[in-house]
Amino acid sequence: MWKSRVVAPVLFPSRTEVLSRGKRMVVRVVLLQAGCAALVASAFLVFKGAHQGLAALVGGLIVAAGSAVFGWRVFKPGIAGGAAITMAMYGGVVLKWLWFALALYLALALLKLEAAPLLIGIVVAQLGYWASLIRLK
């Protein structure tokens, strides 16, 4: 009546493997966002001109740098408790938005870059984030 089942052991990743996966994910996100920024900047360069291409590139790189700051802050505590990780995530979001606000101010007010290509560069670079979440096997 009773059938015996063999249960295989559950393998959990090591702590260093978890951290390295997270850091690789941050690098993948930042590189894809920078690639999207370069792609949209080259399209603006070809069709609109150098000033618009620069604005699109700056917009995309603002997003990529914000993702890098967020990723750096989130993985700074390493393997830690829930409270430390939560605080690291909150700190990362705050730093990312501070960077974003400062960089937009510098790009629009001081560098006098055009707003439309800058915002298009921001949106296309954000699409790079969504593309980085796709896992191809």
Q: What's the pLDDT tens digit per position in 11-67?
A: 666 777 878 888 898 999 999 999 999 999 999 999 999 999 999 999 999 999 999
As a whole number of angstroms, the distance between CA 110 and CA 135 comes to 39
Q: Which tokens hold the place of 104?
A: 């937009």
| C-beta separation of 33 from 64 below 8 A | yes
Q: What is the mean pLDDT of residues 109-134?
A: 93
How confident is the model at residue 2, as a pLDDT? 62
The pLDDT score that the predictor gives to residue 75 is 87
Categorize the per-residue pLDDT at 5 as very low, low, confident or very high, splitting at 50, 70 and 90.
low
Neighbours of 52 (CB within 10 A): 21
66-95, pLDDT tens digit by residue? 999 999 999 888 888 889 999 999 999 999
Handedness of CA 118, 121, 123, 129 (dihedral sign): negative
pTM (predicted TM-score): 0.84
- Residue 54 is predicted with a pLDDT of 97
